[in-house]
Structure 1
Amino acid sequence: MTRYSDITLIGGGIIGLLTARELHQAGVRVTLIERNRIGQESSWAGGGILLPLYPWRQPDAISRLVIRSLALYPSLAEQLIRDTQLDPEWTPCGLLISKNPDIQAAIRWCKDYSIRYETPGLAFFNELNTQPENPLWLPYIAQARNPRLVKSLRQDLGDKGVRIIEECELKSVYTHQHRITEIDTAQGKFPVEQLIVSAGAWTGQLFTRLFPIPAPDIVPVKGQMLLFDAKPDTLRHMVLDEDRYLIPRRDGKILAGSSVEHDQFDKTPSAEIHDKLKNFALALMPSLKRFPIINHWAGLRPGTEHGVPYIGRHPEIENLFINAGHFRNGLAMGPASAELLADLILNRTPRVAPEPYQFSSLH
């Protein structure tokens, strides 16, 4: 028997999962299709800082989604823990930014968006080997542990009856009179009422292969990370030092990241980047020399020209929507991005103005 869905969603990363959750909560029947396993690409690989690096240097369109997401995360984490008993480790441990040559822009951004900021005292730098320049302490900035957030979202959706189909590649798309009518996949054909593409770094490639229409300008941007097997309380807060960072997890492990590489779809970790990240981490925090590196991995971020995602309807296909292109801020913008797309599909009043994320605005 064929199961019909109001929404068919392509892509099971953090954006796809959050979008499916938002629509399901509104009473929409959703089928989520993932070509591999749920959440095993960029969503698994990132660091999980819930703030862009130096957000005052980013377009306002990014900040608006981030600020709305900051407001949504506490209740999201609480609901996931309650309903799944899987803790996404949303942790407001704070972020120390050691060097801010544009400190006035930073303070102005914090004031504009009501983000608490302080000047950190010397004690913040007892374990760090750096030369602070107008340092800034953001005490309420949080992180989430990517793999655990993905796992809890996947469990939550499954428990609530959202249809999830993994290892199911999209093969072809059938259209009639500017509407998608059906998709063909590795697991058969599915009728389509509304189709959302949230395929991360593969979104642009998927459009080029399957749709005879303009494609979103989304390309893969590789990033590599290291994980130190440190002990709890070795580092109590996140540290951003120039273009790299350290992130302490609740169990003490510390991530060091990351690289930005335009390397097509190659996810192979490299010895060169391993050594650069290791040297950065040990130079910034010499006490890490006591702890072994236990993991080194790479992921592919969905890059756009300015890091602003596509969120909205495609202008040429009336039942085709996009939620992709979040670059390195998928977690930071995710809840608000999902809410915004659901607002547009369901004709609700958007909490974030949609214009900057529309296809026409980004081309």
Structure 2
Amino acid sequence: MCEVLIVGGGVMGLWAAVMAARAGFTTRLLERGAIGSGASGGLLGALMPHMPDRWNEKKQFQFDALMSLEGEIAGLEAATGLSAGYRRSGRIMPLGKPHLREIALGREQDAARHWCTPSRRFHWHVREADAGGWPPAEAAPFGVVHDTLAARVAPRSLLAMLRAALDQFPHVRCEEGAAVISLEPARGRLSLADGRALTFDHLVLAAGVESFFFIDGLTQPRRAPSGGAVKGQAALLRADIDPALPIIFSDGLYIVPHENGQVAVGSTSENRFDQPYSTDDQLDALLARATTFAPALLGAPVIERWAGLRPRATGREPMVGRHPDHERLFVLTGGFKVGFGLAHALARSVIDEIAGRPSGELPETFRCAHHIAALR
């Protein structure tokens, strides 16, 4: 039986392992730390669609992925008995300037055309904010957009569910504390920090930011790095908020109601930083902004402050599929802010390619070969 080795135990790697196991491959997942210890183990879990205007294949791919994710999660919840904290709660975007309202009104018809399936239709409504509402009228002087497509998931709950699903496959093995230090895809071999050497038929590199280090070492010549890290900070609060309320999104600020009286607030996007895993006054400023749009959070105790590094490919799109120079090496990284909504679909595309049934649905700009050509 063909063996697939997956490097990385975040949301991308776990979905790749699930898809490989379903395809019947002997599957081994290696995670240098603990499952979900990277950017995937954060707090937000917002599943946000692209704007419905200027429709293209990338937006269609994301829409289809957000549609299929709901069923994927429902099936895994039934199989494992665990909850991923998923809810299609929608999204509210306050409109602070008159021209933003005009733009939003123009997008209503775009959503009516593009945000639909044969059985479901999602909406983009422009309406007035309610006094004392979510958010209050004074925080949205020109109204709000309310879309019914956005959803959320509890990141750590989703990871735990995926990990439990893998335990149900006898041909899957997961190893934590297995740090990869070198790759030799031409020989089908890699080396671990503990001195072991492992062989593979196919390798899926889904190690987040660390993936770019390996890609750069294997890609010559090139004129630029394949990607880098963007730091994000977020916090989890305890508040008496209805978990069915929509996500509030305004100029980089996310307020995400979760179950059990928890609300996530985030996140910064920092390209320059000295302390990648510590929080600072930038998170304090974000929390202060959040109370403007959600006064119910005033005085809410902070349960956890979190910081982590998210992988962003140089071309900004996810980097997916076979490396053009190494037929055994497949890449699955660069999700940045859209990873949780796309991970299952991107992982399926990679495993389909390994199995010899490549999907034509993957946008060309997502393909690893496209990224590598741009780097050169």
Instruction: Name the structure 2 match of 1:167.
Output: 177
Which sections of structure 1, spanning at least 5 residues, go unmatched? none
Instruction: Name the structure 1 match of 2:6.
Output: 9
Instruction: Name the structure 2 match of 1:152.
Output: 161
Contact 1:216 1:359 in 2 (8 A): no
Is 2:104 the partner of 1:107?
no
Instruction: Name the structure 2 match of 1:117.
Output: 124
Q: Give the TM-score normalised by the residue count of structure 2.
A: 0.86
Q: Distance in 1 between matches of 2:39 and 2:142?
A: 32
Contact 2:43 2:306 in 1 (8 A): no
**Residue 23 of structure 1: how far off its partner (Å):** 1.6
Return the letter of the residue paired with 1:263.
R
Which of 79, 84, 89 is residue 83 of structure 1 equivalent to?
79
Measured against aligned partners, the alpha-carbon deviations of 1:83-122 in whole angstroms (never above 9, x if no partner) come to: 2211001111111122345325633552224242223454
**After the TM superposition, which residues 1-363 of structure 1 pair with which residues of structure 2 at under 5 Å, given as runs?**
6-52=3-49, 55-56=51-52, 60=56, 62-99=58-95, 100=100, 102-103=103-104, 106-107=107-108, 109-110=110-111, 111-114=113-116, 115-123=122-130, 126-129=133-136, 130-133=139-142, 135-161=144-170, 162-175=172-185, 179-187=186-194, 188-209=196-217, 217-233=226-242, 236-263=245-272, 266-348=275-357, 350=359, 352-362=361-371, 363=374
Q: Distance in 2 between matches of 1:301 and 1:104?
A: 33
**Residue 287 of structure 1: how far off its partner (Å):** 2.1
Alpha-carbon spacing, 1:46–1:59, altered in 2? closer, same or farther (3 Å): farther
The residue matched to 1:64 in structure 2 has which SS?
Answer: helix
Task: Count residues in correspondence.
Answer: 356
Alpha-carbon spacing, 1:173–1:140, altered in 2? closer, same or farther (3 Å): closer
**Alignment identity in percent?**
23
Contact 2:127 2:143 in 1 (8 A): no
**Residue 200 of structure 1: how far off its partner (Å):** 0.8
Q: Distance in 1 between matches of 2:70 and 2:243?
A: 25
Q: Give the TM-score normalised by the residue count of structure 1.
A: 0.89
**Residue 354 of structure 1: how far off its partner (Å):** 4.5
